[in-house]
Amino acid sequence: MTEPVGRLHGAVRSATATLHRTAARWRRRPPRDLDLGQVDTDGFTMVQLLDETDVRDVRAVVDTVIADNDAGFFASPAHAWGDEARRVDQVLKARLAGRLADLLPGYEPFMVAITSKPRHSSQQIKFHHDWTYTDERRHHPVFLWCPLVDCTAHSGALQVIPGSHLWSERIRPSRTLEATEHLQGELEPLAVELAFRAGDAVAFHPGTLHGSEPNSSPIDRPAITIALAPQDAQLVHFHLDQGGELSGFNVDESFFTLNPYGQPPAAADPIAPWSTALTEQDLRDALHDGARPEEAGR
């Protein structure tokens, strides 16, 4: 077995073990402390992020935005970048600063986003990665997806694919067609369904594949995503254009709420990409090499 494939099998075995451990733990609330080691090995972990007062205050801010947006799925800044997305980002960063500093000392939130899936929404969010936000050869961000109501897969809770952050070290740029677009049938059986109480969060590596099912419940499912990076990490953005050219830029945190979503910055310091962009073939290779559920003993 080659070294990367061995590493992949190891990650899948470790994630499977975590799955069994975590499944038992989900009957209780997850811990208030974040197990960063588990994010490194398995790509995700659960954490009790917000208390009841936090949930109420965050919900009040989120409701001002989603009240006017009753589409089957609404994400800010992805569907509504600009001043409103920036306001929400700034207000929630300020409101949650204390809790985030306790949870992840040495990290700084660089984006707070809203994802809302109303009741009886048939909208599925296909499995995908998030972008590359820092030089992951040195350090990586941590994402926190936190629903503001209790939810399960049936009501649109996020699902993750354990260990998938280790499938490739290539850059994940903004692009027109996700590398995962044609692989949904292979990815879905690998996903873990998570159950959340309002204020619980899944902390994950942005390279961990994730998605969500329709919200078949009679209850709206508002959620926030908080992206944090080590304080000394330079934020970056990569874009793959229609011609297949990959460009890289140094950006600051305002880029993620103000810039038109998925577009390269109009003016920013260019940087040289340290790899080519992740491809569908990379993911097919990883799936072939050992991420199949039967090989993980599931």
For residue 239, give the nearest of 258, 264, 260, 259 by alpha carbon. Answer: 264
How many CB atoms are located within 10 Å of the residue 136 CB?
21
Q: Is 248 in the site for ligand AKG (CB under 6 A)?
A: no
What is the smallest separation between the CB atom of 128 and ligand AKG, expressed in angstroms?
7
Residues forming a β-bridge with 200 = 48
Residues forming a β-bridge with 45 = 203
Q: Which of 17, 125, 153, 268: binder of ligand AKG (CB under 6 A)?
A: 125
Per CB under 6 A, the segment of 25-33, 46-54, 84-92, 204-212 that binds ligand AKG is 204-212
Q: Which is nearer to ligand AKG, 125 or 268 (CB)?
A: 125
Q: Is 223 in the site for ligand AKG (CB under 6 A)?
A: yes
Tell me the residue type at 194. Answer: L
Q: Which of 225, 227, 240, 248: binder of ligand AKG (CB under 6 A)?
A: 225
Q: Which of 63, 84, 130, 188: binder of ligand AKG (CB under 6 A)?
A: 130
Number of residues that bind ligand AKG (CB under 6 A): 11
CA–CA gap between residue 99 and residue 112 (Å, rounded): 14
- Find the binding residues for ligand AKG in span 64-123 (CB under 6 A): 115, 117
Q: Which is nearer to ligand AKG, 96 or 202 (CB)?
A: 202
Q: Which is nearer to ligand AKG, 29 or 128 (CB)?
A: 128
Q: Which is nearer to ligand AKG, 156 or 162 (CB)?
A: 156
Between the CA of residue 229 and those of 25, 236, 254, 260, what are the distances in Å?
A: 27, 11, 14, 22
Per CB under 6 A, the segment of 61-69, 79-87, 100-108, 208-216 that binds ligand AKG is 208-216
User: What is the phi/psi pair of residue 127, to 5°?
Assistant: -65, 135
Q: Is 36 in the site for ligand AKG (CB under 6 A)?
A: no
What is the smallest separation between the CB atom of 125 and ligand AKG, expressed in angstroms?
4
Phi-psi category of 61—alpha, beta or left, where left has phi over 0 and alpha has psi -120 to 50?
alpha
Residues 125, 131, 137: CA angle, nearest 5 degrees: 140
Q: Which is nearer to ligand AKG, 107 or 127 (CB)?
A: 127
- Find the binding residues for ligand AKG in span 153-172 (CB under 6 A): 156, 158
Q: Which is nearer to ligand AKG, 210 or 237 (CB)?
A: 210
Q: State the alpha helices, DSSP H only, in 134-199.
A: 184-187
Q: Which is nearer to ligand AKG, 138 or 216 (CB)?
A: 216
What is the smallest separation between the CB atom of 143 and ligand AKG, expressed in angstroms?
8
CA dihedral of 197, 43, 205, 285, whole degrees rounded to 10: -130
Structure tokens at 74: 């609404």
Say if residue 287 is exposed, middle or buried (CB neighbours under 10 Å; 0-12, 13-18, 19+): middle
Per CB under 6 A, the segment of 22-30, 51-59, 167-175, 206-214 that binds ligand AKG is 206-214
Look at the alpha carbons of 269, 270, 275, 280 in this order and tell me if their dihedral is positive or negative: positive
Point out which residues bind ligand AKG (CB under 6 A).
115, 117, 125, 130, 156, 158, 210-212, 223, 225
